[in-house]
Structure 1
Amino acid sequence: MGVRRSIHFVPGANLKMLSKVPELSADAVILDLEDSVVSSNKEEARKNVASWLASERDKTERFVRINPITMRTGREDLESIVECDLDGIVLPKVTSLDDVKLADSIISAYEKKRGPCSVGRTKLILIGAESAGTVFNLTSISNNDRVDGLTWGVEDFFASIGSRSKRDSQGQYLEVFKYVRSICLISAVSANVQPIDAVFSDIANHKKLAEECKYSAQMGFTGKLTVHPSQISIVNESFSPSDVEVKNAAELVAAFAENMREGKMAFLYRGKMVDTPHLERAQNILERSKAITKRDA
């Protein structure tokens, strides 16, 4: 699992937006064949996406969101683009592990034809919890070796439960949405896949986006879906360790090294007791910072 802070949606039917993808600073892009494409344009969008994927690569990860795999359109999407030069597939409206297994079987059949070096290369990012009945399946649907990320579909979930609003007067998620968000995080971490936070649809409200990203990162999410280019830099910064965090982590690791030489794994540090979990967190911060620096170089 590499660095994937911003995961940006690009409509597959929009040639102008596709042409601007190389100018984006997103860590990953999702070329969309689902919600942003009207039924009459599905075939054209597939051709656009396939053509774009044939273009010269850069360091940006390339994903394609197909239509639901349980629909004929979704299977046709997958079969038409799985041979392209992409990193993975985004599966929407995943209801059960059977959906994941179906996509896996189609991808595996192609990879085997292509040769041993291709087997297992194509990743899956799952969009779960798009309806009330699928919230409690988030852990089980991630139980597949091809799954590399998990997110939740806030807008579809909102529509499915009949809420009047997603947020309170302060702009914070109502409790039911906080709950689903937390379940997504815990399910992803327990399956050892990337926890990815849902889209923030108020594209002009950069201040609130930054606040939401900060809270999301504090929770444990490591990336967020974006729907407008102006959101990308905010998301990238929010999901990168700050200079202060890196400095503090390095100092804590050094303190552990010194105390371990004295046979101590738990000790008082700046007025607080620290032990193994604190060391692991500090090491994770330093590793993530190095990975981001390498990725952005």
Structure 2
Amino acid sequence: MRPRRSVLYMPGANERALEKAKTLPADALILDLEDAVAPDAKVAARERVCAAVGSYGTREVTIRVNGAGTPWHADDLRAAGEAGPSAVVVPKVNSVDEVHAIEKALSHAPDHTAIWAMIETPVAVLNCSAIAAASDRLTVLVLGTNDLAKELVAAQVPGRGPLLGPLSMCVLAARATGRVILDGVFNDVRDAAGFAEECRQGRDFGFDGKTLIHPGQVEPCNEIFAPSAAEVEHAHRVIAAFEEAGREGRGVATVDGRMIENLHVANAERTLALAAAISGG
């Protein structure tokens, strides 16, 4: 298990930002060639990002390319594949055929370079299961909630009520296909309370982590998406109680007055695995 609690977008045209990223505790980075880069800076940003990929140690570093249909898409995929990041993040992936085209375009990339597909349109939400299952190289789904809200003509309001259906559908698709799924960004970097609440909502929905637009969002996101000390302690007690019940020939156990079955043990094991991965243990 690899933690992806906090996944921070960094503008590919900003050399200082790329350098600053080395000091930030984000679990993963997305070096961005798309939204954060003006058209006349795309080529230079591509060169800068591809050269920077190997300078972040063991950190999971990805490159977001420009989307299909743009003048930069093919060259971005070629250069990103040659740079060999942890993954190539592709915006607005809408179909299985598009996944196959991306996979073919990255055939020269190292085996460790995965595909992260961004789900940003109504048709992508409806096709999400098929998109996720289209390639073994596709390992992560990334929600693009700003574009999705725009395409849905939906209001972006506290609590994200208009988006809850699509968010739930995408989490369902990720779990059905064994993929990681990342929540979309929170736009108001000054609203710490609103950001924390949206992180908790995403965690409770089943997202593995959240994409971020500001370094100040990293640490609170890490804390919210990590198991708490109480959750870790409870997980240990669940496993211990179930093992004791097994030794006594019982198929169920109780912890804090609640019945414990195999599914609770599986959840507890996942909690401990995530805690160990975060701590490097």
Task: Tell me, yes or no, whether TM beats 0.5.
Answer: yes
Is contact 1:11–1:17 with CA below 8 Å preserved after alignment?
yes
Q: Any residues of structure 2 matched to 1:230-241 within 5 Å, and which?
A: 230-241=216-227
Q: Any residues of structure 2 matched to 1:15-164 within 5 Å, and which?
A: 15-54=15-54, 56-108=55-107, 110-111=108-109, 118=110, 120-128=111-119, 130-143=120-133, 144-163=135-154
In structure 1, C-alpha distance between the alignment counterparts of 2:197 and 2:235, rounded to whole Å? 23
**Which residue is equivalent to 1:272?**
258
In structure 1, C-alpha distance between the alignment counterparts of 2:243 and 2:69, rounded to whole Å? 53
1:162 CA displacement: 2.0
In structure 2, C-alpha distance between the alignment counterparts of 1:131 and 1:85, rounded to whole Å? 28
1:263 CA displacement: 1.2
1:261 CA displacement: 0.3
Which stretch shifts more, 146-155 or 63-72?
63-72
In structure 1, C-alpha distance between the alignment counterparts of 2:2 and 2:171, rounded to whole Å? 17
Q: How many residue pairs are counted as aligned between the two chains? A: 280
Counterpart code for 2:125: V
In structure 2, C-alpha distance between the alignment counterparts of 1:206 and 1:224, rounded to whole Å? 15
Counterpart code for 2:123: G
In structure 2, C-alpha distance between the alignment counterparts of 1:217 and 1:135, rounded to whole Å? 19
**Which residue is equivalent to 1:115?**
none
% same residue: 32
1:27 CA displacement: 0.8
Give 5+ residue unaligned stretches, structure 1. Answer: 112-117
Whether 2:188 is the aligned partner of 1:202: answer yes
Pick aligned residue for 2:245 from 232, 254, 259? 259
In structure 2, C-alpha distance between the alignment counterparts of 1:220 and 1:265, rounded to whole Å? 28
Counterpart code for 1:148: T
In structure 2, C-alpha distance between the alignment counterparts of 1:53 and 1:70, rounded to whole Å? 25
Counterpart code for 2:30: I
SS at match of 1:90: strand
1:195 CA displacement: 1.4
Give the superposed CA RMSD. 1.5
Q: Deviations over 1:40-81 (max 9, x none)?
A: 111111111122225x33221110000113444211111122
